[in-house]
Structure 1
Amino acid sequence: MATSTTSSRSLWKGAISFGLVHIPVALHSATSEQGLDFDWLDKRSMDPVGYKRINKKTGKEIDKENIVKGIEYEDGQYVVLSQEEIAAAYPKATQTIEIEMFVPATDIPFVYLERSYYIVPINKGGKVYALLREALLKTRRVGIARVVIQTRQHLAALVPSGPALVLNLLRWGDEIRSWEKLSFPPEGAEEAGINDKELKMAEQLVMDMSGKWHPEQFRDSFKDEIMKLVHEKVETGDIQTVAQPEEAEAARSSAQILDLTELLQRSLKKGEDKDEEDRGTTTGRKSTKAGADPVPGHARGTRKRRA
């Protein structure tokens, strides 16, 4: 199971950039998936059950090399794109969190928030990092930025939180459904038919139930109950042995090698190893620019592994 501690390994290295300011930073995931992951098993033999690529019309399994990717632009009408065309459309990894504007923190509805990362200063960027954090706190603003992570471009909000700057990935505007066709009561107490007495009673109830936010007080009761059952069965020896077939392992490895993201990660790792070798042969050389701080130029990503 995943832990709730922050990984010490950075997922991405680059810089925050706005105006003439350049702050070298690294991204660390601020969240971890804690949901339950049920594996499929054949109850007759306790063999693992995998997923097959099935032709929905014929019901027959098809080989991976016979699968192409298409976008449906009208009902039943598709445009087929090659892997090369898809790869060419990926945004260029600039290694920069490019802030485009600053907006009041209250301007971003919660519905836009998607995923969070801690931004950690590196390469002597601490002071400028702190300067930006304090300026955002003082002005009650957040930075709206674009960033490319693992070949995907994201809209993001740079938000001060305690000692940290947090990068909150945002959903794009066209991903938010409109509420125009939904029925809500009119805005404003009087317009909604609420009188002063009713509003005061509601305000008093809210204040009576108010407190400080302590996230550890709130737990997933379903997950806790399932894990309680799991531990009880382990203690009584009620455990089934599941052997992973060798061909399944080989198929999984082959699929990973053919995956574009995995290929990109391996290419980046190869480039990093070469950089390490080059640095080893140039030990002792000094930078031609006094005080120049190198900013790592490779994106790093992690693929979430299933438990």
Structure 2
Amino acid sequence: MAATARTLWKGAISFGLVHIPVGLYTATQESELDFDWLDKRTMDPVGYKRINKRTGREITRENIVKGIAYEDGRYVLLSDDEIRAAYPESTQTIEIEAFVQASEIPFVYLERPYYLAPLGKGAKVYALLREALLKTGRVGIARVVIQTKQHLAALIPAGPGLILNLLRWADEIRSWENLDLPEEGSRAAGISPREMKMAEQLIDDMTDKWEPGRYQDEFKEKILQLVQTKIEAEETEAVTPMASLEESRPTADIVDLTELLKRSLEKNKGDAKSARGGGSGNGSRTRGGKTRHSA
């Protein structure tokens, strides 16, 4: 782990009587394209607004409450204090509850990876756990609280490190019972031995080492190439800086500082909370400032 890596969380891996002090580090970074929304008449940035979906009018933060629908058109309202009281207790511990075969976890459960690195004198025990997991082909299933939210996670050995991969909860995975899928097993699916042998041979012929750098986002590359071409052809537009917009506005029309801070946080690629979405889940909020391309 590079010396400049930002520690998101410090705690410990715990199973049985074993206690391994570790730091949590971001393992991914956002590389998708951001398309800013602009007013085509003035080239001014188009920002965020809280819109009442029925009236179309903007409303203030003070008039927003949180509610959960329990039937069509009816809600239970929850105060910030009631929501805060339900937050799980932060123990700064990755509590391993069981070890399972790595092959038993379908990829659909994997959500977001983080690196774990040993702290203090935990290097030897860290290495012991890593090597034992590699040798047995198992991963640890644990619970961890990050930023007031409880997660299910898999502790996975990979190369010299341990990865804490957050998992989706079971009720977040849709069932495939209603899909028209062929029966399991080659005989039940009507596959002949000759067909199976040919398919295996084709897979063998196409088998290669995993080299992630070989695969690129073609859409992103084409857009960036187009952007560069337009820059070279001087086909660009000047956007009024936000500071200049502030100076031109009357005192009674000050931009909401909270919204500007939120926009800045969402642009911070290293912030784990914004990388996970970070919103409050408010159904009355319309996102007007960005359109993101993602796979």
Contact 1:16 1:25 in 2 (8 A): yes
Give the alignment partner of residue 180 of structure 2, picking from 180, 183, 204. 183
Q: Relative to 1, partners in 2 of residues 1:252 and 1:197: Cα closer, same or farther, differing over 3 Å?
A: farther
**Shift of the alpha carbon at 1:14?**
0.6
**1:254 is the counterpart of 2:224:** no
Structure 2 gaps, min length 5: 266-270, 276-289
**Shift of the alpha carbon at 1:31?**
0.7
**Shift of the alpha carbon at 1:250?**
6.3
Residue identity opposite 2:219 in structure 1: F
**Shift of the alpha carbon at 1:256?**
7.4
Listed as ranges, the matches of 1:290-301 within 5 Å are none
May I ask how many residue pairs the two structures share in their alignment?
A: 263
Q: Equivalent residue for 1:23?
A: 20
Residues in 2 aligned to 1:253 and 1:98: alpha-carbon distance in whole angstroms: 39
The 3-state SS of whatever aligns with 1:304 is helix
Residue identity opposite 1:304 in structure 2: S
Give the alignment partner of residue 154 of structure 2, picking from 152, 157, 160. 157
Listed as ranges, the matches of 1:44-83 within 5 Å are 44-83=41-80
Listed as ranges, the matches of 1:56-205 within 5 Å are 56-205=53-202
Q: Equivalent residue for 1:213?
A: 210
Structure 1 gaps, min length 5: 263-300
CA RMSD after TM alignment: 2.5
Residues in 1 aligned to 2:254 and 2:13: alpha-carbon distance in whole angstroms: 41
Q: TM-score, normalised by structure 2?
A: 0.83
Residues in 2 aligned to 1:38 and 1:206: alpha-carbon distance in whole angstroms: 40
The 3-state SS of whatever aligns with 2:11 is strand
Contact 2:65 2:79 in 1 (8 A): yes
The 3-state SS of whatever aligns with 2:7 is coil
**Shift of the alpha carbon at 1:302?**
4.7
**Shift of the alpha carbon at 1:145?**
0.3
The 3-state SS of whatever aligns with 1:38 is strand
Q: Which has the higher contact order (CA 8 A, sep 6+)?
A: 2
Runs (4+) of structure 1 exceeding 3 A deviation are 247-252, 301-307
Between Structure 1 and Structure 2, the one with more strand by share is 2
Q: Relative to 1, partners in 2 of residues 1:6 and 1:304: Cα closer, same or farther, differing over 3 Å?
A: farther
Q: Equivalent residue for 2:285?
A: none
**1:37 is the counterpart of 2:34:** yes
